[in-house]
Amino acid sequence: MEIYRGIGVSPGLVIGTALVLDAEGVRIPARQIPPEKVSSELTRLNKALKAAAEESRAQQKSVELRLGKQLGSIFSAQSTFYDDPGLLTELHQLIHNERFTAEYAVTNVIRTYRRALEALGKDHFLSTKASDLLDVEKRILNQLLGADWEPLSNLKEPVIVLAHDISPSETATMDPTKVLAFATESGGKTSHTAIMAGALEIPAVVGLGKFLHDVAGGDTLIVDGTRGILIVDPDEEILEEYQGQVKVLSEQSGYWLAERDLPAVTLDGTRIELMGNIEFPSEAAHCIDRNADGVGLYRTEFLFAGHDTDPSEEEHYQAYVHVVQTLGPNKPVVIRTLDHGADKFPNHAEKISEERNPFLGLRSVRLCLRNLPMFKKQMRAILRASVQGDIRIMFPMVGTLLELRQCKMLLAEVREDLLEEGIPFKKDMPVGTMIEVPSAAIMADKLAKEVDFFSLGTNDLVQYTLAADRTNENVAGLYNPADPAVLRLIDSVVRAARTNNIGATVCGEMSGDPLFTQWLLGTGLRQLSVSPQNIPEIKKLIRRINLSDAEAMAEKALQLDTARDVTNYLREQKRRIQPDAID
Ligand code: PEP
Ligand code: MG
Ligand 1 site-directed mutation target among 394, 436, 493, most atoms within 8 Å of CB: 436
User: What does the pLDDT read at residue 151?
Assistant: 62
Quote the ligand 1 centre to 480 CA distance (angstroms).
Answer: 15
DSSP state, residue 125: G
Neighbours of 551 (CB within 10 A): 15
**Least confident among 34-43, 165-174, 455-464:** 165-174
DSSP per-residue string spanning 320-361: HHHHHHHH-TTS-EEEEPP--BTTBSTT-TT--S--SSGGGS
**Least confident among 197-206, 250-259, 283-292:** 250-259
Reported confidence tier of residue 583, pLDDT bands at 50, 70, 90: low
User: What does the pLDDT read at residue 412?
Assistant: 98
Contact 512, 493 (CB under 8 A): no
What is the distance between the alpha carbons of residues 524 and 353, in angstroms, rounded to a whole number?
A: 43
What is the distance between the alpha carbons of residues 487 and 448, in angstroms, rounded to a whole number?
A: 19
The string of pLDDT tens digits covering residues 118-131 is: 787 766 667 767 88
CATH number for the segment(s) 2-24+151-249: 3.50.30.10
User: What does the pLDDT read at residue 71?
Assistant: 80
User: What does the pLDDT read at residue 349?
Assistant: 46
The string of pLDDT tens digits covering residues 373-396 is: 999 999 999 999 999 999 999 999
Residue 338 has pLDDT above 80, yes or no: yes
Atom of ligand 1 nearest to the CA of 436: 2
DSSP per-residue string spanning 154-174: G-SS-EEEEES---HHHHHT-
User: What does the pLDDT read at residue 38?
Assistant: 92
Would residue 192 show up in a list of annotated catalytic residues for this protein?
Answer: yes
Q: Is 459 exposed, middle or buried (0-12, 13-18, 19+ CB in 10 A)?
A: middle
What is the distance between the alpha carbons of residues 184 and 126, in angstroms, rounded to a whole number?
A: 18
User: What does the pLDDT read at residue 139?
Assistant: 86
Q: When comparing pLDDT for 142 and 322, which is higher?
A: 322
Atom of ligand 1 nearest to the CA of 460: 2
**Least confident among 42-56, 66-80, 315-329:** 66-80
Atom of ligand 1 nearest to the CA of 299: 9
The pocket around ligand 1, CB under 6 angstroms, is made up of: 297, 299, 339, 436, 457-460, 507-508
User: What does the pLDDT read at residue 447?
Assistant: 98
Q: When comparing pLDDT for 107 and 502, which is higher?
A: 502
The string of pLDDT tens digits covering residues 71-104 is: 887 787 778 889 889 989 999 999 999 999 898 8
Residue 147 has pLDDT above 60, yes or no: no
Mean pLDDT calculated for residue range 316-331: 96
pTM of this structure: 0.78
Given the residues 287, 368, 407, 507, select the one marked as catalytic: 507
User: What does the pLDDT read at residue 202?
Assistant: 92
- DSSP 3-state assignment of 393? strand
The string of pLDDT tens digits covering residues 417-427 is: 999 999 999 99
- How far is C-alpha 481 from the geometric centre of its chain's CA atoms? 19
User: What does the pLDDT read at residue 502?
Assistant: 98
The string of pLDDT tens digits covering residues 509-558 is: 899 999 999 999 999 999 999 989 889 989 999 999 999 999 999 999 99
Reported confidence tier of residue 368, pLDDT bands at 50, 70, 90: very high
Average pLDDT, the chain: 89
CATH architecture of 35-145: Orthogonal Bundle (1.10)
Q: Residues at the annotated binding site for Mg(2+)?
A: 436, 460
User: What does the pLDDT read at residue 123?
Assistant: 63
Mean pLDDT calculated for residue range 227-241: 94
> For 259-577, which CATH superfamily applies?
Phosphoenolpyruvate-binding domains (3.20.20.60)
Residue 372 has pLDDT above 60, yes or no: yes
Quote the ligand 2 centre to 582 CA distance (angstroms).
Answer: 28
Contact 179, 155 (CB under 8 A): yes
User: What does the pLDDT read at residue 76?
Assistant: 78
Residues forming a β-bridge with 433? 395, 454
Q: When comparing pLDDT for 69 and 296, which is higher?
A: 296
Quote the ligand 1 centre to 508 CA distance (angstroms).
Answer: 5
The string of pLDDT tens digits covering residues 452-462 is: 999 999 999 99
Helix/strand/coil (H, E, C) string of 19-32? EECCCCCCCCCCCE
Reported confidence tier of residue 559, pLDDT bands at 50, 70, 90: very high
Residues forming a β-bridge with 528? 274, 506
User: What does the pLDDT read at residue 214?
Assistant: 80
**Sequence-distant (≥ 6) Cβ neighbours of residue 426 within 8 angstroms:** 383, 386, 387, 391
Given the residues 192, 316, 322, 348, select the one marked as catalytic: 192
Would residue 507 show up in a list of annotated catalytic residues for this protein?
Answer: yes
Whole-number Cα distances in Å, 60 to 142, 255, 279, 510: 17, 37, 19, 35
Spans of all domains in the chain = 2-24+151-249, 35-145, 259-577
